[in-house]
């Protein structure tokens, strides 16, 4: 009996994991440039954390959460996103406070029970940031620029920033009312989900992806029409900064995003190289969430990039990080391979192997009783720079051949000189 990977999940195999490592390294490099520190939270949290923050009427909470009871009957949920867990962790550990700007980042798996398709999985990975403590519109702009710099560091091109303001608790009721009035006449032509959304939370209708609903969404009143003075000024300043920094963006007044916690700025970075799921990244401001989860009122802003989508674009682009044919890179995985012939040579080879490793030099040897020729092949595939070939004669001489795998040069090298000569 063999088992298959669960629907909507994928193994990241050795041939691909180095691509992930490169992307993760780029994330860490850029996050550090902007002075963010890493936070790691558990994969599961109490279910209420997510229902409270993301919102009961959202698709994520309504249909997509992996929720289960533990043996003591507590309701737990695999994290569908990381903003709420980060807020929870900050409150629990006093990481946020007055006169303090807290800049955090994370990289890790998230879980949503969605219909799998290209760019949409049930377990997927996000890299994201959350900043707490400032309502400065420049910070919204900085977060967007960080997002763009990160995607450009990874090598993605032709990205577009979509930006909107969804207002705040002061101006949102007026928008809801205006939207409800508009939808009243049209809702009967829209999908069953939208009819339900219309009753529970009309704003959610704008997030519908059904084709038949799109023309009604496109003609819906824009949130910008009813923004209060504060939200309007904030938005003007954010786009003003983006203009000043020469960032190209498109104002999309229907961008409400799939989570209820947003206030003021919302944004997505989309790529024409993706299909229906074209958002590489999404985020925005959420000035009410910290208070909603039991903390003092604290403004916050953040985003998360979907790493599978980044990889999809890179694959479609035949991006250079992926070697031809998507094979394991040969690029110097190990420095030296000890090829051994016979039991005694194996013993001596293993001593040398451990000596190399203890000096911080990556090294390996054979454990399958392969022939010398086969061992040379393995060494080559591992990208070894050198092979040291030990047999019975070599043990007698206390000296063996050191082969440079790049130049094919071979020289005799005594056992005790090997490490000094190679400066390892």
295 contacts ligand HAM (rule: CB under 6 A)? no
CB-wise, 87 or 217, nearer to ligand HAM? 87
280 contacts ligand HAM (rule: CB under 6 A)? yes
User: Minimum distance from CB of 95 to ligand HAM (Å)?
Assistant: 16
User: Minimum distance from CB of 290 to ligand HAM (Å)?
Assistant: 12
288 contacts ligand HAM (rule: CB under 6 A)? no
User: Minimum distance from CB of 100 to ligand HAM (Å)?
Assistant: 18
- Range 118-143 burial, b when 16+ CB lie within 10 A, else e: ebbbbbbbbbbbbbbbbbbbebbbbb
Among 168, 213, 231, 279, binds ligand HAM (CB under 6 A): 279
**Residue 117 DSSP symbol:** B
137 contacts ligand HAM (rule: CB under 6 A)? no
* Tokens standing for residue 218: 């496109």
User: Minimum distance from CB of 84 to ligand HAM (Å)?
Assistant: 8
45 contacts ligand HAM (rule: CB under 6 A)? no
User: Minimum distance from CB of 12 to ligand HAM (Å)?
Assistant: 14
Q: Which residues contact 264 (CB under 8 A, 6 or more apart)?
A: 140, 165, 166, 167, 168, 231, 234, 235, 284, 285, 287
User: Minimum distance from CB of 361 to ligand HAM (Å)?
Assistant: 39
45 touches 77 (CB < 8 A): yes
Count of residues that bind ligand HAM according to CB under 6 A: 27
Among 207, 260, 308, 394, binds ligand HAM (CB under 6 A): 308
Name the residue among 170, 89, 81 with its Cα closest to residue 124. 81
**Residue 326 DSSP symbol:** G
Residue nearest ligand HAM, CB atom distance: 306
For residues 142 and 243, give the distance between their C-alpha atoms in angstroms, rounded to a whole number.
Answer: 12
77 contacts ligand HAM (rule: CB under 6 A)? no
Q: Between β-strands 159-165 and 265-271, what pairing exists: parallel, antiparallel or unpaired?
A: antiparallel
Name the residue among 361, 364, 336 with its Cα closest to residue 350. 364
Among 124, 175, 235, 388, binds ligand HAM (CB under 6 A): 124
46 touches 74 (CB < 8 A): yes
The residues pairing with 44 across neighbouring beta strands, listed in sequence order, are 78
Name the residue among 319, 390, 316 with its Cα closest to residue 353. 390
Among 52, 79, 112, 403, binds ligand HAM (CB under 6 A): 112
Q: Which residues bind to ligand HAM, rule: CB under 6 A?
A: 81-83, 112, 114, 119-121, 124, 126, 128, 130, 258-259, 279-284, 286, 302-304, 306, 308-309
């Amino acid at each position: 009996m063999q088992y298959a990977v669960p629907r909507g999940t994928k193994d990241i195999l050795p041939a691909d994991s180095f691509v992930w490592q490169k992307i993760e390294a780029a994330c860490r490099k850029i996050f550090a440039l902007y002075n963010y520190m890493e936070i790691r939270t558990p994969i599961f949290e109490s279910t209420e954390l997510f229902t409270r923050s993301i919102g009961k009427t959202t698709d994520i909470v309504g249909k997509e959460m992996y929720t289960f009871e533990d043996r003591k009957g507590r309701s737990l949920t695999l994290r569908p996103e990381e903003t709420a867990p980060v807020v929870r962790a900050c409150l629990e550990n006093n990481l946020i406070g007055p006169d303090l700007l807290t800049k955090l980042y994370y990289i890790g798996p998230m879980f949503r029970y969605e219909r799998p398709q290209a760019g949409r999985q049930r377990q997927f990975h996000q890299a994201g940031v959350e900043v707490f403590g400032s309502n400065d519109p420049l910070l919204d702009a900085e977060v967007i620029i960080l997002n763009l710099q990160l995607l450009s560091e990874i090598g993605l091109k032709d990205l577009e920033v979509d930006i909107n303001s969804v207002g705040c608790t002061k101006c949102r009721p007026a928008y809801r009312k205006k939207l409800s009035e508009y939808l009243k006449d049209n809702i009967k032509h829209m999908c069953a989900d939208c009819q339900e959304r219309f009753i529970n939370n009309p704003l959610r209708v704008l997030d519908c992806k059904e084709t038949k609903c799109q023309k009604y969404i496109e003609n819906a009143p824009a949130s910008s029409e009813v923004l209060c003075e504060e939200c309007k000024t904030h938005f003007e300043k954010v786009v003003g900064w983006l203009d000043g920094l020469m960032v190209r963006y498109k104002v999309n007044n229907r961008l409400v995003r799939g989570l209820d916690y947003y206030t003021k700025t919302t944004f997505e970075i989309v790529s024409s190289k993706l299909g229906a799921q074209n958002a590489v990244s999404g985020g925005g401001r959420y000035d009410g969430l910290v208070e909603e989860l039991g903390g003092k009122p604290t403004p916050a802003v953040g985003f998360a990039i979907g790493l599978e989508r980044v990889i999809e674009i890179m694959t479609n682009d035949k991006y250079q990080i992926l070697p031809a044919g998507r094979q394991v890179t040969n690029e110097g995985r190990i420095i030296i391979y000890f090829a051994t012939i016979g039991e005694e040579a194996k013993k001596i080879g293993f001593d040398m192997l451990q000596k190399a490793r203890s000096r911080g030099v990556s090294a390996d040897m054979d454990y399958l009783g392969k022939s010398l020729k086969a061992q040379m092949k393995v060494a080559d595939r591992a990208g070894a720079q050198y092979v040291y070939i030990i047999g019975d004669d070599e043990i007698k001489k206390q000296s063996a051949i050191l082969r440079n795998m790049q130049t094919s040069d071979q020289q005799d090298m005594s056992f005790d000189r090997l490490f000094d000569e190679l400066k390892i």
